Amino acid sequence: MNARTILLVEDNPSDIALTRRAFDKSRIGNPLIVCEDGQDALDYLFAQGTHADRCKEQMPALILLDINLPRLDGLSVLRQIRENPLTRRLPVVILTSSTEQSDLAAGYDAGANSYIRKPVSFERFVDAITQLGMYWLVINEAPPKAETP
């Protein structure tokens, strides 16, 4: 796969490590940027705060977003992504352990492109990551880049 960046927004160190291992096992070699809270993710996307030196035009090819995050929850992050012309077209996949139907509905209502529940077993998680990577990074045709206002 090519070197398009993936943004993982996840606060659980075990889930971050598990996701990295699943990407390695799936042979997804894309750079993985990790933000451990919702505000840090927005700072990364909009090149502000600790990420002010990041090139604002280089957006991730895919955002993997947990719902339950410190400082700013995932659904609030998603709403702000969708409200901004520079980020509204970015593919956002909610990757969460939540089994609540209300979270599923709220995720799609906020503009998620996909909602994936983290499988319990590592093998099933690797399979889910493999399929996710194949679809979003290889098969799917990305929308055109948003025009800067």
In this prediction, residue 1 carries a pLDDT of: 36
Residue ranges, the chain, pLDDT below 50: 1-2
* pTM across the whole model: 0.92
In this prediction, residue 148 carries a pLDDT of: 62
Beta-strand runs (E) in 10-142: 32-35, 62-65, 92-96, 114-117
In this prediction, residue 147 carries a pLDDT of: 67
In this prediction, residue 133 carries a pLDDT of: 87
Cα gap 6→132, rounded to integer Å: 12
Domain topology for 10-138: Rossmann fold (3.40.50)
Answer yes or no: are the C-beta atoms of 92 and 63 closer than 8 Å. Answer: yes
Domain boundaries, the chain: 10-138
127's enclosing H/E stretch is: helix 122-134
In this prediction, residue 2 carries a pLDDT of: 42
